Amino acid sequence: MTHLTTPAEPITVAQLVQAGLLQIGTGCRLHPTTVFFPADLQGTRRPIVLGEQVTVGAYTVLHGGLTIGDHAYIGHHTILGEPVYGYAVRESYPGAGADTVLGSGVIIRAGAIVYAGTTIGDDTTIGHHTLLRTGVSVGAGSQLAANLTVERGTRIGSGVRCSPGSHLTADTIVGDHAFLGAGVRTINDKELIWRDPGHQMPLTPPTFREGCKVGTGAVVLAGVTVNSGALVGAGSVVTRDVADDAIVYGVPAVVHGQVTR
Protein backbone atom coordinates (compact mmCIF):
# COMPACT_ATOMS: atom_id res chain seq x y z
CA MET A 1 0.00 0.00 0.00
CA THR A 2 1.13 3.54 -0.75
CA HIS A 3 2.30 5.37 2.37
CA LEU A 4 1.41 9.00 2.94
CA THR A 5 3.39 11.39 5.05
CA THR A 6 2.45 14.44 7.12
CA PRO A 7 4.98 16.51 9.07
CA ALA A 8 4.08 14.43 12.11
CA GLU A 9 4.07 10.78 11.04
CA PRO A 10 3.19 8.43 8.17
CA ILE A 11 -0.46 7.47 7.67
CA THR A 12 -2.19 5.29 5.10
CA VAL A 13 -4.07 6.21 1.96
CA ALA A 14 -7.32 5.10 3.54
CA GLN A 15 -6.78 7.35 6.57
CA LEU A 16 -6.06 10.36 4.40
CA VAL A 17 -9.13 9.72 2.24
CA GLN A 18 -11.26 9.27 5.36
CA ALA A 19 -10.00 12.59 6.71
CA GLY A 20 -11.09 14.35 3.49
CA LEU A 21 -7.52 15.27 2.60
CA LEU A 22 -7.19 13.05 -0.46
CA GLN A 23 -9.52 12.38 -3.39
CA ILE A 24 -8.51 9.81 -5.99
CA GLY A 25 -10.49 9.51 -9.22
CA THR A 26 -11.27 6.26 -10.97
CA GLY A 27 -8.53 4.55 -12.92
CA CYS A 28 -5.63 6.36 -11.24
CA ARG A 29 -2.25 4.65 -11.05
CA LEU A 30 -0.03 5.74 -8.16
CA HIS A 31 3.41 4.30 -7.60
CA PRO A 32 3.79 2.83 -4.07
CA THR A 33 6.54 5.34 -3.27
CA THR A 34 4.26 8.39 -3.78
CA VAL A 35 4.44 10.77 -0.81
CA PHE A 36 1.66 13.16 0.23
CA PHE A 37 2.12 16.25 2.42
CA PRO A 38 -1.37 17.68 3.04
CA ALA A 39 -0.02 20.12 5.68
CA ASP A 40 2.26 23.05 4.88
CA LEU A 41 5.08 24.31 7.12
CA GLN A 42 2.59 26.39 9.12
CA GLY A 43 0.43 23.35 9.83
CA THR A 44 -2.42 24.34 7.51
CA ARG A 45 -3.98 21.32 5.81
CA ARG A 46 -5.36 21.39 2.28
CA PRO A 47 -6.88 18.51 0.31
CA ILE A 48 -5.12 16.85 -2.61
CA VAL A 49 -7.41 16.02 -5.54
CA LEU A 50 -6.55 13.64 -8.37
CA GLY A 51 -8.91 13.41 -11.35
CA GLU A 52 -9.68 10.30 -13.35
CA GLN A 53 -6.93 8.14 -14.88
CA VAL A 54 -4.05 10.14 -13.44
CA THR A 55 -0.65 8.42 -13.50
CA VAL A 56 1.87 9.28 -10.76
CA GLY A 57 5.46 8.03 -11.02
CA ALA A 58 7.95 6.81 -8.44
CA TYR A 59 9.15 9.01 -5.56
CA THR A 60 6.79 11.85 -6.43
CA VAL A 61 5.88 14.35 -3.68
CA LEU A 62 2.39 15.90 -3.74
CA HIS A 63 1.57 18.81 -1.41
CA GLY A 64 -1.72 20.03 0.00
CA GLY A 65 -3.80 22.29 -2.22
CA LEU A 66 -2.84 20.36 -5.36
CA THR A 67 -5.50 19.53 -7.97
CA ILE A 68 -4.58 17.35 -10.95
CA GLY A 69 -6.99 17.06 -13.89
CA ASP A 70 -8.10 13.94 -15.72
CA HIS A 71 -5.61 11.91 -17.78
CA ALA A 72 -2.58 13.80 -16.46
CA TYR A 73 0.80 12.07 -16.36
CA ILE A 74 3.25 12.85 -13.54
CA GLY A 75 6.78 11.52 -14.06
CA HIS A 76 9.20 10.07 -11.52
CA HIS A 77 10.87 12.23 -8.84
CA THR A 78 8.61 15.24 -9.34
CA ILE A 79 7.54 17.72 -6.63
CA LEU A 80 4.16 19.43 -7.02
CA GLY A 81 2.73 22.21 -4.85
CA GLU A 82 5.91 22.91 -2.88
CA PRO A 83 5.36 25.73 -0.33
CA VAL A 84 7.84 28.58 -0.64
CA TYR A 85 10.10 29.09 2.37
CA GLY A 86 12.86 31.61 3.02
CA TYR A 87 14.05 34.74 1.20
CA ALA A 88 13.09 35.41 -2.40
CA VAL A 89 12.55 38.60 -4.44
CA ARG A 90 12.97 41.02 -1.51
CA GLU A 91 10.65 39.14 0.84
CA SER A 92 10.83 36.28 3.35
CA TYR A 93 8.23 33.53 3.14
CA PRO A 94 7.01 31.29 6.00
CA GLY A 95 6.27 28.10 4.07
CA ALA A 96 2.54 28.61 3.48
CA GLY A 97 0.88 26.39 0.91
CA ALA A 98 -1.55 27.52 -1.79
CA ASP A 99 -3.82 26.11 -4.47
CA THR A 100 -1.87 24.50 -7.31
CA VAL A 101 -3.87 23.47 -10.37
CA LEU A 102 -2.81 21.16 -13.21
CA GLY A 103 -5.32 20.86 -16.05
CA SER A 104 -6.50 17.80 -17.92
CA GLY A 105 -3.94 16.00 -20.04
CA VAL A 106 -0.98 17.80 -18.47
CA ILE A 107 2.37 15.98 -18.66
CA ILE A 108 5.00 16.67 -15.99
CA ARG A 109 8.23 14.93 -16.89
CA ALA A 110 10.70 13.39 -14.46
CA GLY A 111 12.45 15.68 -11.99
CA ALA A 112 10.28 18.77 -12.51
CA ILE A 113 9.43 21.01 -9.52
CA VAL A 114 6.21 23.03 -9.42
CA TYR A 115 5.76 25.43 -6.49
CA ALA A 116 2.50 26.22 -4.71
CA GLY A 117 0.18 28.71 -6.35
CA THR A 118 1.06 27.66 -9.90
CA THR A 119 -1.57 27.01 -12.60
CA ILE A 120 -0.91 24.88 -15.69
CA GLY A 121 -3.48 24.73 -18.51
CA ASP A 122 -4.87 21.67 -20.27
CA ASP A 123 -2.58 19.56 -22.47
CA THR A 124 0.58 21.45 -21.53
CA THR A 125 3.90 19.61 -21.13
CA ILE A 126 6.56 20.54 -18.56
CA GLY A 127 10.00 19.12 -19.35
CA HIS A 128 12.53 17.17 -17.31
CA HIS A 129 13.99 19.06 -14.32
CA THR A 130 12.12 22.27 -15.15
CA LEU A 131 11.38 24.60 -12.21
CA LEU A 132 8.18 26.64 -11.96
CA ARG A 133 8.21 29.03 -9.01
CA THR A 134 5.28 30.33 -6.95
CA GLY A 135 2.45 32.05 -8.81
CA VAL A 136 3.51 31.01 -12.31
CA SER A 137 0.68 30.49 -14.80
CA VAL A 138 0.97 28.55 -18.06
CA GLY A 139 -1.82 28.41 -20.64
CA ALA A 140 -3.19 25.45 -22.56
CA GLY A 141 -1.25 23.48 -25.13
CA SER A 142 2.16 24.95 -24.30
CA GLN A 143 5.46 23.08 -24.28
CA LEU A 144 8.10 24.02 -21.73
CA ALA A 145 11.19 21.96 -22.41
CA ALA A 146 13.83 20.53 -20.07
CA ASN A 147 15.93 22.48 -17.56
CA LEU A 148 13.97 25.72 -17.66
CA THR A 149 13.84 28.10 -14.71
CA VAL A 150 10.61 30.09 -14.59
CA GLU A 151 10.63 32.56 -11.71
CA ARG A 152 7.67 33.61 -9.56
CA GLY A 153 4.71 35.40 -11.04
CA THR A 154 5.64 34.74 -14.66
CA ARG A 155 2.66 34.47 -17.01
CA ILE A 156 3.01 32.21 -20.04
CA GLY A 157 0.21 32.05 -22.60
CA SER A 158 -1.29 29.22 -24.63
CA GLY A 159 0.51 27.46 -27.46
CA VAL A 160 3.91 28.72 -26.28
CA ARG A 161 7.13 26.83 -26.98
CA CYS A 162 10.17 27.31 -24.70
CA SER A 163 13.28 25.37 -25.66
CA PRO A 164 15.70 23.84 -23.10
CA GLY A 165 17.90 25.73 -20.67
CA SER A 166 16.24 29.15 -20.68
CA HIS A 167 15.63 31.47 -17.73
CA LEU A 168 12.50 33.61 -17.37
CA THR A 169 12.92 36.16 -14.60
CA ALA A 170 10.16 37.04 -12.12
CA ASP A 171 6.92 38.48 -13.56
CA THR A 172 7.93 37.98 -17.19
CA ILE A 173 5.00 37.92 -19.62
CA VAL A 174 5.03 35.54 -22.61
CA GLY A 175 2.12 35.93 -25.04
CA ASP A 176 0.22 33.20 -26.84
CA HIS A 177 2.11 31.24 -29.50
CA ALA A 178 5.46 32.87 -28.73
CA PHE A 179 8.60 30.83 -29.35
CA LEU A 180 11.69 31.13 -27.15
CA GLY A 181 14.80 29.28 -28.27
CA ALA A 182 17.27 27.40 -26.08
CA GLY A 183 19.32 29.27 -23.51
CA VAL A 184 17.39 32.54 -23.65
CA ARG A 185 18.20 34.83 -20.69
CA THR A 186 15.98 37.55 -19.26
CA ILE A 187 16.74 40.34 -16.78
CA ASN A 188 14.39 42.35 -14.54
CA ASP A 189 16.82 44.48 -12.52
CA LYS A 190 18.33 47.56 -14.19
CA GLU A 191 20.43 48.47 -11.13
CA LEU A 192 21.84 45.02 -10.24
CA ILE A 193 21.10 45.67 -6.58
CA TRP A 194 20.17 42.77 -4.31
CA ARG A 195 19.04 42.89 -0.69
CA ASP A 196 19.87 46.56 -0.25
CA PRO A 197 16.97 48.18 1.66
CA GLY A 198 18.13 51.65 0.71
CA HIS A 199 18.03 50.98 -3.02
CA GLN A 200 14.86 49.07 -3.74
CA MET A 201 14.35 50.07 -7.37
CA PRO A 202 11.30 48.57 -9.09
CA LEU A 203 11.86 45.34 -10.95
CA THR A 204 10.95 45.62 -14.63
CA PRO A 205 10.76 42.25 -16.38
CA PRO A 206 10.66 41.92 -20.17
CA THR A 207 7.51 41.18 -22.16
CA PHE A 208 7.16 38.85 -25.15
CA ARG A 209 4.03 39.58 -27.18
CA GLU A 210 1.90 37.14 -29.16
CA GLY A 211 3.67 35.17 -31.85
CA CYS A 212 7.14 36.63 -31.41
CA LYS A 213 10.22 34.43 -31.87
CA VAL A 214 13.49 34.73 -29.93
CA GLY A 215 16.54 32.82 -31.11
CA THR A 216 18.87 30.61 -29.10
CA GLY A 217 21.17 32.36 -26.65
CA ALA A 218 19.53 35.77 -26.84
CA VAL A 219 19.65 38.08 -23.80
CA VAL A 220 16.66 40.38 -23.24
CA LEU A 221 17.25 43.24 -20.80
CA ALA A 222 14.94 44.68 -18.15
CA GLY A 223 11.82 46.46 -19.31
CA VAL A 224 12.20 45.47 -22.97
CA THR A 225 9.10 44.47 -24.98
CA VAL A 226 9.46 42.15 -27.96
CA ASN A 227 6.25 42.91 -29.82
CA SER A 228 3.90 40.69 -31.81
CA GLY A 229 5.41 38.74 -34.68
CA ALA A 230 8.92 40.10 -34.13
CA LEU A 231 11.99 37.93 -34.72
CA VAL A 232 15.14 38.19 -32.56
CA GLY A 233 18.24 36.53 -33.97
CA ALA A 234 20.31 33.98 -32.05
CA GLY A 235 22.92 35.39 -29.68
CA SER A 236 21.49 38.91 -29.72
CA VAL A 237 21.49 41.33 -26.77
CA VAL A 238 18.17 43.17 -26.86
CA THR A 239 18.46 46.55 -25.13
CA ARG A 240 15.34 48.32 -26.43
CA ASP A 241 11.80 47.51 -27.53
CA VAL A 242 11.33 45.55 -30.75
CA ALA A 243 8.45 46.69 -32.97
CA ASP A 244 5.76 44.42 -34.41
CA ASP A 245 7.14 42.10 -37.12
CA ALA A 246 10.65 43.60 -36.92
CA ILE A 247 13.71 41.43 -37.50
CA VAL A 248 16.53 42.35 -35.12
CA TYR A 249 19.89 40.82 -34.32
CA GLY A 250 23.34 41.74 -33.12
CA VAL A 251 25.01 43.11 -29.99
CA PRO A 252 23.20 45.34 -29.34
CA ALA A 253 20.31 44.15 -31.49
CA VAL A 254 19.26 46.53 -34.30
CA VAL A 255 16.61 46.31 -37.00
CA HIS A 256 17.55 44.45 -40.19
CA GLY A 257 14.17 44.03 -41.83
CA GLN A 258 10.56 42.99 -41.45
CA VAL A 259 8.94 39.58 -41.10
CA THR A 260 6.79 38.65 -44.12
CA ARG A 261 3.61 37.08 -42.82
**H or E segment and range at residue 176:** none
Dist. CA 119–CA 106, nearest whole Å: 11
| β pairing state of 219-220 and 237-238 | parallel
167: CB partners within 8 A, 6+ apart: 148, 149, 151, 184, 185, 186
pLDDT of residue 196: 62
26 residue type, one letter: T
Dist. CA 243–CA 255, nearest whole Å: 9
pLDDT of residue 198: 60
Within 10 angstroms of residue 25's Cβ, the number of other Cβ atoms is: 15
Task: Reply yes or no on whether the pLDDT at 31 is more than 50.
Answer: yes
User: What predicted TM-score, i.e. pTM, was given to this entire model?
Assistant: 0.94
Structural domain that includes position 193: 3-258
Give me the number of domains the chain comprises: 1
Counts for the chain of helices (H) and strands (E), in that order: 1, 36
Per-residue pLDDT tens over the stretch 102-158:
999 999 999 999 999 999 999 999 999 999 999 999 999 999 999 999 999 999 999
Dist. CA 236–CA 19, nearest whole Å: 55
pLDDT of residue 1: 47
Residue 244, domain CATH: 2.160.10.10
Dist. CA 67–CA 63, nearest whole Å: 10
Helix (H, G, I), strand (E, B) or coil at 17: helix
pLDDT of residue 208: 98
Dist. CA 32–CA 199, nearest whole Å: 50
Helices (H), 54-144: none
Burial of 134 (0-12, 13-18, 19+ CB in 10 A): buried
Dist. CA 33–CA 30, nearest whole Å: 8
Dist. CA 105–CA 189, nearest whole Å: 36
Task: Tell me which of 7 and 39 has the higher pLDDT.
Answer: 39
